[in-house]
Amino acid sequence: MRLLAFFHVLWLLIGDEMRTTQALANTNRRRQLLWGFITSAPLLASPAHAVCTWGVLSEDCIGVYKMPDSSAPTSMDVSTARSSLIEQRQRIDTVRSNILSGNLVQGGLELLKVVPKINKAGKSLIPMDIDGSSAVSGLIVQRMEAQLEEINGLLGQADVSIGQGMRGEMGSVTVAQLTIIRDLQDAQNLLDDFLALASK
């Protein structure tokens, strides 16, 4: 019975992975194009943007390249990390509300606060020490790592779109709003999946 249960869980994980692979690949390609644009944009040459990292609450840091965080990573206990992710998921709703009301700047500033907290809490929920003989555990960890990367990518993509909307580079504000809202919703959906996997 245990062997049967093992293969059942393994089959479910593989099935989910196959169904989401193409969607994730398409989003990754779109994200790479956007980040390729933003990292080569003239904005990077401005000293005002040279110190931008996630968490720096400055309008100048919305939609531009973020320098990698050089601080030492810190971990959170599982309960605190889960609570933090749930809270940040709700804060994405605040970002969405600002975007829908046309307040791109405030939405962008909120997003600057959300992303580093999601990244920190998410990494704390990914098991570091797993039984090497457990294929199921290994697959779960791989999926969680991929999902967290995709969540960060979607939110980064939303950040780029907010910046473009602020600068009028996407035409009408409505076009920018629709693009940003879609990426925020996709990120929330993946965050729900991530939290579900973290419970297994």
- Would you list the domain boundaries of the chain? 2-198
pLDDT at 68 over 60: yes
Give which of 98, 80, 72, 85 is closest to 177, Cα–Cα: 98
- Please state, in angstroms and rounded to a whole number, the distance separating the CA atoms of residues 166 and 175: 12
> How would residue 174 be classed by pLDDT, with cut points 50, 70 and 90?
confident
Burial class (CB in 10 A: 0-12, 13-18, 19+), 155: buried
Cβ neighbours of 148 (radius 10 Å): 20
- pLDDT tens profile 75-120: 788 899 999 999 999 999 999 999 999 999 999 999 999 999 999 9
